[in-house]
Copies of this chain bind each other. A is one copy, B any other.
Amino acid sequence: MSFTDADREELARLCAQATRTIQAKRDLISAGDAPRAVAIILDGWACHYRNLEDGSRQIVDFAIPGDLCDLNLFILDRMDHSIGAITRLKVAEVGREIFHRIVTNYPNITTALWWVELVSKSIHREWIVNVGQRSARQRIAHLLCEMFLRLESVGLTDGFSCDFPLTQNDIAETTGLTSVHVNRSIQELRREGLIVFERYRLTIPDMLALQGAGLFNPDYLHIKRLNRHTDSRRKEGH
């Protein structure tokens, strides 16, 4: 599958109209709300999370530029989780009617939506594996590998480095660990030279070594096609 010029124009138009800015740490939408628009992340990081009655919080996914939120728009009437801004966020919002028009008129885009949805589900599966089976060290290494490759696939890395706005507490809420233990595990990874990570900037000098430390296998990201998919998006300005 690949996009036609008409598809690309339509995508560019969508990203241009109705943009909105959300402050860091604010919710883009909260659990229980009725979804009102599909959001396309244009800039910044967001996270999908759920709260437990006992006060704990679990982050279940991150959204970086190019990612979509709330495809459930038509289908599920209430958000079953919240989406929060990690950094200041810029999003494009696509309302119900426009979305519907796209789905009926642009089959390639619809297929791409399915694609995005299925990959995101595959990532969810891997996160279950991550918290279910891996040690603290491995979980963190795995998370760093995943996010680096996802950032790379949308052109947001710079050689071996990338901006990485998560606090150690965010990482704790992602990996099901405490922030104290995350701290100690990160120090271990640093000591071994597997990562350089300070001031919200991450460098991975040897990706394969870090992948080894995290039992990371990139297949689940379906990156090859992810690239093909996002290529068209990156060229949208052309």
Given A117-B117, A133-B176, A222-B76, the answer on whether A217 and B128 have CB atoms closer than 8 Å is: no
In the assembled complex, how far is the CB of residue A13 from the closest CB belonging to chain B, in whole angstroms? 24
Q: Does A36 contact B (CB under 8 A)?
A: no
CA distance A121 to B76 in the complex (A): 12
In the assembled complex, how far is the CB of residue A74 from the closest CB belonging to chain B, in whole angstroms? 8
Which residues in B have their C-beta under 8 angstroms from that of A121?
A: 117, 120-121, 124
Q: Which of A50, A118, A124, A129 has the most CB of B within 10 A?
A: A129
Which of B57, B71, B118, B125 has a CB less than 8 Å from the CB of A48? B125
| B129 engages A58 (CB within 8 Å) | yes
| B133 engages A80 (CB within 8 Å) | no
CA distance A115 to B111 in the complex (A): 16
| B118 engages A72 (CB within 8 Å) | yes
Q: Does A6 contact B (CB under 8 A)?
A: no
Q: Which of A54, A125, A132 has the most CB of B within 10 A?
A: A132
Total copies of this chain within the assembly: 2
Interface string of A130-147 (1 = CB under 8 A from B): 011110000000000000
Q: Does A153 contact B (CB under 8 A)?
A: no
Given A80-B220, A222-B80, the answer on whether A132 and B215 have CB atoms closer than 8 Å is: no
Q: Does A180 contact B (CB under 8 A)?
A: no
Which residues in B have their C-beta under 8 angstroms from that of A50?
A: 125-126, 129
Which residues in B have their C-beta under 8 angstroms from that of A53?
A: 215, 217
| A58 engages B115 (CB within 8 Å) | no
Q: Does A219 contact B (CB under 8 A)?
A: yes
6 additional contacts (CB under 8 A) given A48-B125, A52-B133: A60-B128, A80-B122, A81-B122, A81-B220, A117-B118, A132-B175
Q: List 16 A-B contacts (CB under 8 A).
A: A48-B125, A52-B129, A52-B133, A58-B129, A60-B125, A61-B125, A72-B118, A76-B122, A76-B222, A77-B225, A80-B125, A80-B220, A81-B122, A81-B125, A131-B132, A133-B176
